[in-house]
Amino acid sequence: MNFRLMTYDDIPAYQTLLHNAYQAVSQLGIHFAAATVDQFTIADHIESNAVYVSEKDSELVSTLSIRFPWGNNPGPYGLPHLGWFATNPQYKGQGYGNALWDWVENQILINQLKLPAVTLGTAQNHPWLAQIYINKGYRPIGQADLTPDHTTLYLEKILNHKNYTQWKSRSN
């Protein structure tokens, strides 16, 4: 298993991965942008976000994006925001998505970026996604009605309590 930052050469395979992975969510009546994203939008996405992928035998298996507060699609809380998490359905349930998630969280968010916390959003009415994130240590912090088919539930994970407390005191 290889973890790395996505490149422009990955765009076609990345688009296929996203479309295939989000198909099951679309069948639930929940429409995330990643389910139908075009290659132009993907190119724009990788220009202002950090998009990580995992590979097995040169095939993209999983992906996770970090949207930055200064990027083209910032999260709502002034912190980096995780999104477009997906695993090729062929590899579902084998731990590849969790392996990438844990690598990004530990190696990038904590060790490299030294973040106090990170946020993410998911569909509140999805039958199991929110619970997966809660099990990973995220806690609900808000919600918004951004689309007609679901309410977005926002979650946050504190990565460094001391830095988080200092950041919060400066943010208020």
* φ/ψ (deg, to 5) at 148: -70, -15
**Domains with residue ranges and CATH for the chain:** 2-171 (3.40.630.30)
The whole-number pLDDT of residue 91 equals 93
- For residue 110, what pLDDT band results from cuts at 50, 70 and 90? very high
The whole-number pLDDT of residue 98 equals 95
pTM for this entry: 0.91
- Is residue 78 a contact partner of residue 54, using CB atoms and an 8 Å limit? no
For 139, counting Cβ atoms within 10 Å of its Cβ (0-12 exposed, 13-18 middle, 19+ buried), the class is exposed
**62 pLDDT above the threshold of 90:** yes
**149 pLDDT above the threshold of 80:** no
**pLDDT tens per residue across span 116-129:** 999 998 877 666 77
Q: How much is the mean pLDDT over the chain?
A: 89
